[in-house]
């Protein structure tokens, strides 16, 4: 049986996906192109002067790595040069970027929010990193410049979302609202092939992913859940696996079963992960893969954002494990 390329997959399934227009396909092609360029630079990062800090900080007050800057500019250039989006929101930029034509307007339908290089603090030690993206249809009238309202849509309005993980192999994991599929890059010919069709979370797992260095700062319910995971009862203790890259931790849990937690803490009172380009796209993928994503009490995809770079507590993964966390949080 022939293995489908990503392009062939989109064409074959276009009747099932209401937004699989030519414009949408071109948008995905631009993401693919940028991902291949970033993948190439990551793979040769140790050979060129591209590792380490860029000497600046982003809007979050975090040190920017050289590859952070490179990935951000690469994705923006790929999207802007093809004139297929009307606006871009990036973790690395303070404000959204309107993409306008010569007349000051834009006739394109889509906006894209992204974390161009998630887990970049791990770059210097050769740990897997990734790109996360979220696609919405604009709210503002076609032909007018985009505005902030376009970027403050809840996650349940996403048209598509996905991530690219750069590791021992490079994969794009994508949902267009009809399941989750993984495509692996063949670097010899630069083509993504369908390698993991119909990806779903196991109902439960034995892995929990949380930065236990903040244990003392966590809410009582999270502390109690971690203790529950560590008890030698039934199928426990669970295994603790935390990479420090949302894409990497999520990808492992999606395949093997598990839960990812980045709750609020005394250090990060609103949580640390950003809603629009980290929590929302990963939550969309989670639900499409039959998992569950919450901030501890609310469904992530139903949260109405108030700010472009809004932070949020984030818990996602195998549904039974997430429900157990909610049970512990509900007791406090």
The three state secondary structure string of 36-73 is: HHHHHHHHCHHHCCCCCEEEEECCCCCEEEHHHHHHHH
Check whether 115 is labelled as a binding-site residue: yes
Check whether 242 is labelled as a binding-site residue: yes
Check pLDDT > 80 for residue 36. Answer: yes
Check whether 91 is labelled as a binding-site residue: yes
- Every domain of the chain with CATH number 3.40.190.80 lies at 207-330
Q: Could you give the CA distance from residue 28 to residue 232 in angstroms, rounded to a whole number?
A: 46
Are 32 and 188 within 8 A, CB to CB?
A: no
- Report the percentage of the chain scoring pLDDT > 70: 88
Check whether 225 is labelled as a binding-site residue: no
Looking at every residue in the chain, the average pLDDT score rounds to: 90
pLDDT at residue number 105? 63
**Global pTM value:** 0.92
pLDDT at residue number 114? 98
Check whether 264 is labelled as a binding-site residue: no
Are 89 and 277 within 8 A, CB to CB?
A: yes
Q: Could you give the CA distance from residue 146 to residue 105 in angstroms, rounded to a whole number?
A: 8
pLDDT at residue number 38? 94
Check pLDDT > 80 for residue 279. Answer: yes
Check whether 118 is labelled as a binding-site residue: yes
- Every domain of the chain with CATH number 3.30.540.10 lies at 6-196
**Which pLDDT band holds residue 63 (cuts at 50, 70, 90)?**
low
Q: Could you give the CA distance from residue 27 to residue 244 in angstroms, rounded to a whole number?
A: 29
Check whether 323 is labelled as a binding-site residue: no
Check whether 124 is labelled as a binding-site residue: no
Check whether 277 is labelled as a binding-site residue: no
Check pLDDT > 80 for residue 64. Answer: no
Q: Could you give the CA distance from residue 258 to residue 253 in angstroms, rounded to a whole number?
A: 5
pLDDT tens digits, one per residue of 73-109 = 999 999 998 888 999 999 999 999 999 865 566 789 9
pLDDT at residue number 13? 75
Residue 41's Cβ-count burial label (10 Å; 0-12, 13-18, 19+) is: middle
Residue ranges in 169-295 assigned as alpha helix (H):
220-230, 246-256, 280-288
Domain 6-196: give its CATH architecture: 2-Layer Sandwich (3.30)
> Is the bond into 237 cis (omega within 30 degrees of 0)?
yes
pLDDT tens digits, one per residue of 283-330 = 999 999 999 999 999 999 999 999 999 999 999 999 999 999 999 999
Check whether 262 is labelled as a binding-site residue: yes
pLDDT at residue number 235? 85
**Class of domain 207-330 (CATH, top level):** alpha beta
Q: Return the ∠ at Cα 172 (arms to 169 and 173), rounded to 5°.
A: 120
Check whether 235 is labelled as a binding-site residue: no
* Closest to 185 measured CA to CA, from 331, 326, 5, 29: 5
């Amino acid at each position: 049986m022939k293995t489908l390329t990503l392009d062939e997959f989109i064409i074959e399934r276009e009747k099932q996906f209401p937004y699989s227009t030519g414009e949408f396909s071109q948008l995905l092609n631009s993401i693919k192109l940028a991902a291949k360029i970033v993948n190439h630079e990551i793979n040769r990062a140790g050979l060129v002067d591209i590792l380490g800090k860029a000497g600046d900080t982003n809007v979050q007050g975090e040190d920017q790595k050289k590859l952070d800057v490179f990935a951000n500019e690469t994705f923006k250039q790929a999207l802007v040069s093809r004139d297929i989006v009307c606006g871009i929101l990036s973790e690395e930029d303070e404000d959204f970027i309107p993409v306008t034509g010569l007349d000051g307007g834009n006739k394109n339908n889509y906006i894209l929010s992204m974390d161009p290089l998630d887990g970049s603090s791990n770059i210097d030690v050769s740990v897997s990193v990734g790109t996360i993206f979220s696609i919405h249809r604009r709210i503002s009238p076609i032909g007018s410049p985009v505005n902030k309202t376009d970027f403050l849509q809840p996650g349940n309005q996403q048209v598509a979302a996905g991530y690219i993980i750069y590791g021992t192999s490079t994969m794009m994991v994508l949902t267009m609202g009809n399941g989750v599929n993984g495509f692996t890059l063949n670097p010899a010919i630069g083509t993504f092939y369908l390698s993991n069709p119909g990806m779903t979370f196991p109902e439960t797992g034995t892995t929990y992913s949380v930065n236990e260095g903040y244990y003392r700062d966590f809410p009582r319910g999270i502390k109690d859940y971690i203790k529950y995971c560590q008890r030698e009862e039934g199928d426990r203790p669970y295994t603790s696996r935390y990479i420090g890259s949302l894409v990497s931790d999520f990808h492992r849990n999606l395949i093997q079963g598990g839960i990812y937690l980045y709750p609020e803490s005394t250090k990060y009172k609103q949580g640390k992960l950003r809603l629009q380009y980290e929590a929302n796209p990963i939550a969309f993928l989670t639900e499409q893969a039959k998992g569950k994503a919450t901030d501890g009490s609310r469904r992530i995809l139903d949260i109405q954002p108030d700010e472009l770079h809004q932070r949020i507590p984030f818990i996602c993964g195998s549904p039974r494990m997430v429900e157990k966390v909610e049970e512990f949080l509900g007791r406090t």
